[in-house]
Amino acid sequence: MALVPISREIHARTKVRPLSSLSFARETATVQVCGAEIAAIGQELPVVFARSGDGFIPVALLGFRPQQNLLIDPQGRWLGHHLPAVWRRGPFRLAHIAGEAEGKMALCLDDSDEHLNESEGQSLFDESGAPTALVNTASALLTQIERDARMTHALCATLDRFELIVPWDLDITQPDGTAQRVGGLFRVDEARIATLSADALVEVRDAGALPVIYAHLLSLSKISTLGRLARLANERTQQQTAMQNGNLNLDRAFGIVEDDPFLF
């Protein structure tokens, strides 16, 4: 990935095609979420914690196996309602400017992104050379992502300092009845919150961590949503295998039980 700062000189003719498929993320089992979108996506999916360097980040759990994303269908469509911000940014990125003050960042393009071209899509600059609404919208989105990421990093550090984030081995029953343990996940120890001193609890509150804790704990009930999607994905795989082998059961494929006649 080569990041190139956006400029009229380089990108006067550059266009960006709309994001039409998320196939590139089909093997992504978790995706980072920050700020207010933790609560938004937590209404649909489990939001847990994962290791990131020496600390933790909140991530939406998208599958139970490595490289499994149950939220993207075979056509590359997102099955949820809230699309994570890191996938809404398209080919746009923010990058630190060498030699500039800390925190100074430039809006860039991932020059290798397949959505960039010079023939179709939205232009980056208008005929007068001014940035279009696309550039302004991307800049606002990325600025918000950066702000949310910094805030979320700080509050996760606070949770970690008070030892509120603990390992979580998630046990899942597979469609064939076998048990599977999903490792590498972490959750907030709800019981430990009650043992915090008043001063510690105020510090957690002032870090903005309480809404994240509530959203995280409530989202864990959405494990059942992933389980349902996993069963559907397994049935789809079985049907595809049966079709390839010439053994497709049409009743099962259309959800027809034996005592339910196929009426015309």
Residue 128, domain member (yes or no): yes
pLDDT tens-digit readout, 170-212: 888 876 677 888 889 999 999 999 999 999 999 999 999 999 9
pLDDT tens-digit readout, 126-180: 999 999 999 999 999 999 999 999 999 999 999 999 999 999 988 888 766 778 8
Using the predicted structure, report yes or no on whether residue 258 has a pLDDT greater than 50: no
Least confident stretch, 186-200, 208-222, 238-252: 238-252
Residue 145, domain member (yes or no): yes
Least confident stretch, 73-82, 97-106, 221-230: 97-106
Predicted local confidence at residue 98, as pLDDT: 72
- Residue 7's domain comprises 3-247
Residue 260, domain member (yes or no): no
Residue 259, domain member (yes or no): no
Residue 240, domain member (yes or no): yes
Number of structural domains found in the chain: 1
Residue 258, domain member (yes or no): no
Residue 192, domain member (yes or no): yes
- 173-180 long-range Cβ contacts below 8 angstroms, 24+ apart: 174/230, 175/230, 175/231, 175/234, 175/235, 180/64, 180/65
Sign of CA dihedral 235, 236, 240, 246: positive
Show the 3-state SS of 131-163: ECHHHHHHHHHHHHHHHHHHHHHHHHHHHHHCC
Average pLDDT, rounded, for the chain:
88
The model's confidence at residue 103, banded by pLDDT at 50, 70 and 90, is: low
Sign of CA dihedral 230, 232, 235, 236: negative
Residue 58, domain member (yes or no): yes
Using the predicted structure, report yes or no on whether residue 260 has a pLDDT greater than 50: no
Predicted local confidence at residue 247, as pLDDT: 64
The model's confidence at residue 54, banded by pLDDT at 50, 70 and 90, is: very high
